[in-house]
Structure formats: C-alpha cells, structure tokens
Amino acid sequence: MKIAIVADDLTGASDCGGQLVRYGIRVSVQINPVMAEESNYDAVVFNTVSRSLPANEAALIVKQVSQYINEQPFDLIYKKIDSTLRGNIGAELNAMSDVIQPDFMIIAPGYPQNGRQIIERIHHLNGELLHETEVSRDPKTPVLQSDVVELVASQTGRAVAHLSKADIDRGKAHLADRLEVYKVQNMTYIVADSIIEEDLERLANALAQLPYKYVWVGSAGLMNHLPKAFAIAENDKPQHIPLPVRNDPVLLVVGSVSKMGREQLHSLMNQELAVQIMARSEKLLADEAGKQLELDRVIDAASRALATGRHTVIVASDNVAETKAVGQLLGMTPIQISDAISAALGSITVKLFGGLAIHKLFLTGGDTAYQVLEQLGITAFELMEELEPGVLLGKYEARSLYIVTKAGNFGSDQTMERVIKKLHGGECI
C-alpha cells in the first residue's frame, strides 16, 4: 500500500511521516512540492509550504499536489494539519476534496497523548481552551476559536458533521449508520472527537472497514493508528537506529518563538553543552548594509565555535515587540517579518556549510527548517527514527547529513540535550 501525505509545513511533514517509520515503513519527505520526484518509498510526504500563504495561493498549491497524487498509485491519502489548527485549513481541505473527490474527509486533529483533545467539538490544548493559549497570539496564523466544527465550517463554507466520543464508543455498526446518513445528506466533512488516544484508534479501525473513499485529515496523532487499521503493519516497531560514534559538533538553528522551544534552549544552555549565538531579529530587517553586518557577525562567531568542536546554537532573538515595530516602519506584515527572519537564518546556515564540514543539523520551527534545507539545495530526505513525539531524525545521503526536525511546541525540557546525545551515537532516552 502506497501512502501520500500532504503537509503545510516541514516539521509537521516530518512529524506525520514519523508515525509510519515506527512501523518499518520507508518514508521520504519532499521539501518542496514543485521538486516532487518519483519515489520508490512506501510513503511520500509532500511539504506544500503553505501554512502562512494567502488562502487562494495555499489552495492552488494543494490542488496541484492533489492532482499529482491522483495520477499516482497511492492507496491511502492523508492531509496533515496543525494540531493547534493554525494555517489555511479550510482552503486546503476544499482544494483536496474537490480534486480527490472522497466520500468523506475525516477530520480528527486531536493528539491526546500530547495534550491536544477534542471534547464535544471543542479543542483543548493542555487542558486550556485553544483560543485562550499562546496559539491565539501566533504572529503569522493566530487561532481565535476552539470549536473545530465552527472553524472548519467558517473556513470551508461547507456543511460539517460531527462524530462525538459517544458515537465512537458505540462502535462500528453505529458509525456505519452515521456515515450512511451523512452520505445521503451529502455531508463530506466530518469532525471527530478524541479525548483519549484510544478514541483515534477505534475511529480508524471502524471506518477502515467501511466501503468508503476517504481523505484522512489530522495531526500526527490520527496517522499513528492508520497502519494497523488498514493492516499495513501488524505492530509498531520503534526504530532505534544506531549512529556512528563521532564527536563532531552539532549545529542547532532555532527559529521557533514558542514557549516550549525557548524552555528547551534554556535547559541546554544551563547544561553548558553549547555556544549560543543570538541573531538580533530587528537587525535582520534593516537595510542591506545593516542586515549584512548582523549576518557577518553571527556567521563569524558561529564559524569560530564550530571550528573548535563546540555545539553551536543560532537563535533569532525573541524581542517580538521591538522587531514588530521595526518591521511596521518598513511596511512589513507579521508574515513578511517572520519570513525574512527565517530566510536570514537559512542564509547564515548556508554560509556555515560553505566553510565547514557539518554533518549534524538540528532545526526547530517549520519555516526555519524549510528555509535552511531549501537554501542548502536539499529536495528530499529519508526519515529514520522518531526520537520523541514531534522530533524526527532523518538523513540526506548525498551529504552524509543527519537532520533532526522539531515542531516548535513539541518535546520536553531536555529534548535538545537528548538529540545531541543521539547524534553522537548514544541513545535518545
């Protein structure tokens, strides 16, 4: 069985593909859909880089990728969305639905084991209503409501049905009845609750046995249960890939401004395991001369640290208010400000690779990860192992480059230390 996954950002693409790696399924992540290549992998993840694009542009890209998927022998199609509902969800769902023409779009964004629960349609993030968390203050795609049905309906302009936990608990026969009714009513979009992880498992197991064509829509959480539901693999087999024991330094590029990402960096620096070099975000928005001075300063400091064998962290400063003020004076939108900073971090990384032999790279934040790999000319890489939820190890064979990607809000306080240990040939425990 061939699997196609369409994701709107790179760390999400890796996260979703990582749910398949544990089953022994070979997964390729395509950095840019325009660069999509024929693949002999069991699963291909297409990164559309569309989360913060205007809705019409996002829809066009997803439509093009969906048309490509339709022409290939894919058996299972999955639309990866952000577990906190950021991005152009409505526009992208409509684009996929219009091209793929499924009977149902099964929309289950919950990920209970990682604190994302859908309770009677309402999204709770670590026990809080989604719209009352930091997601509502996201600089690029803030989420201002917690009712998943309302959010999908308002963004798609289409009728949206709901499967509650009570529906799921009643089992396959009841779910079959509900879908039969929705089919008669031409209700294609169905939002499903998930309060505990078993809700997703039971949903997948039941619906997989029904004679319908689906596009599955969710975070990485739902994907975790589909290989068993479709008998692609009997049991998950966590892949613990031993890496060569080498003491060469790790380059960490941190673009995410999430609270968790900053806590992880703070923990790493407290352990004195790395040198931190902070790029002043507001200076990366300056005129070309001022910007180049800041780029040169960061590149010089990072080059010296890496040359002495020190793990090196390049991080954009989180002085959000000051950076926003500078950007506004330049007539930039929040999205343009964020994109400019991510692109600058990519430029810094490319310069470092040009002067040093770097074989271990840690990237956090989807936009930053994309900019770094795209500017390095990497079109695709193979996933190897899920180190932690949302933290994936991959390899780009042409450069013997190990790549770890992490979504900003995922991981534990010690994630960065564990990743460094893993990249040095130890175990990420």
Q: What is the DSSP string of 148-160?
A: HHHHHHHHH-S-E
Q: What CATH code would you report for 251-423? A: 3.40.980.20
Q: In the chain, what are the domain boundaries?
A: 3-229, 251-423
Residue 324 has pLDDT above 70, yes or no: yes
Q: At residue 429, does pLDDT exceed 60?
A: no
Q: Which has the minimum average pLDDT: 26-30, 111-115, 267-271, 391-395?
A: 267-271
Q: What is the mean pLDDT of residues 238-256?
A: 83
Find out whether 412 and 115 touch, Cβ atoms under 8 Å.
no
Q: Model's pTM, two decimal places? A: 0.92
Looking at residue 93, its pLDDT comes to: 99
Q: What is the largest CA-CA distance in the chain?
A: 68
Q: Considering the domain 3-229 in this protein, what is its CATH number?
A: 3.40.50.10840
* Mean pLDDT on 266-275: 90
Look over the chain and give the mean of its residue pLDDT values, rounded to a whole number: 93
Q: What is the mean pLDDT of residues 277-283?
A: 95
Q: What is the reported pLDDT for 2?
A: 94
Average pLDDT over residues 125-149: 95
Residues in contact with 406: Cβ distance below 8 Å, sequence separation at least 6, in sequence order: 11, 261, 362, 363, 364, 390, 391, 392, 415, 419
Q: pLDDT of 184-243, one tens digit each?
A: 999 999 999 999 999 999 999 999 999 999 999 999 999 999 999 999 976 666 667 778
- Res 37: pLDDT: 63
Of 359, 287, 282, the closest CA to residue 321 belongs to: 282
